[in-house]
Structure 1
Amino acid sequence: MFESMLKYQDQMWQAIGETFVMVGISIGAAVLLGLPLGTVLYFCRKGQLYENKTLSLVLNSIVNVVRSFPFLLLVVALIPFTRFLVGTAIGTMAAAVPLSIVAIAYYSRLVEQSLLEVPKGTIEAALSMGASKAGLVFKFLYVEARSGLVLGLTASAISFISFSTVMGVVGGGGVGDFAIRYGYQRFETEVMVYAILVMILLVQIIQFAGSTLARLLDKR
């Protein structure tokens, strides 16, 4: 295996970089769009402050459809949209498009669950102090739920790494694609083991960092 590591070290570093690009973009999409979407899902629920059955039904349906859609089929189905958005359906940037869409839906549901754990007394206290809508969200809800939000993002990032392993279908590259091309297709088992160990290491690093940060943010 050590010989394989030396032989394919350039390709492996490139694959790791491609994985970081895909996962990094998807995490960014999850935070920028999944976080507000999850917040809207929370507020529109029955019994919540801004209850809206119609909007809740529509948004929940969209999120559920995206989350339940087989990922590989979703990648193929989104090829026209991906080509329109980034100008190509092949490559790392193109692979990040379907991954980002899944990330938004996946994280929004985790955000909703985290916000549901915030005591209703917190919202009542915020409203009694005259907090604005933005203040209610950023100064109370997100502050109270910050530990759960970080843990949710950590779990999402690990899932995104798993999803990224199939992005070789559209030439997205990544560690998973490296394992298939240089390990499986060339019958070099040690190369596949090498790639698997790298994936495990990446997941462990992300999990440790996320858990540590969540523990530091948890003031309960």
Structure 2
Amino acid sequence: MSKRIVCLRHGQTLWNVEHRFQGHSDIPLDETGVAQAARAASLLASLRPTLIVSSDLQRANDTALALGRVVGLDVAVDKAFRERGGGQWEGLTRDEIAARWPEEYVAWEAPDGEPVGDVAARVAAAMRRWAAEVDDDGLLVVVSHGAALRLGICELLGLPEELWPALGGLGNCSWSVLQEGRKGWRLLEHNAGTLPEPISSDDRPETQV
């Protein structure tokens, strides 16, 4: 056996429903999101996690706590697992962003926002750091956000940035599974846990379908 990482996206929020850029804004789970977190917890508990770490934002932390309650583990908090900072876009809908910043919308680079390379580097570094805390056959669950997780996974896999769009987005309370091998990390599952459905997150528009 070798160590694994489950990358779990938080449950639904009202801003997800309204297609608003959340970023670092601390938006709570809505009623659907709470139910999604409970369902994900019941499924992931069978994998017997050994360590759970979440973003410090409440939508991720509350999702992580639902799993922690089921498996009897405390949840560690790491700000490095926050969503990509959205700068001036936070709180705005995609239509509002496209109307005000058409060029930046196409590039998906928010004014005063966090560059994708910086997000990928900080999330992947945090994954490596926390994975080092579990045994060789251990399971780390990282509860974070759509763009942050997708970018961190791409970096951890060693994909060149021009190939990052090849990996699709994560739905609310869906997860990806990474396993450490002799030649590095590999992706075992991606966006698992639900049937294919439209995705609403802070990630690039092309990852939303």
In terms of fraction of residues, the more helix-rich structure is: 1
Higher-Rg member (1/2): 1
Which structure features the higher share of strand residues?
A: 2
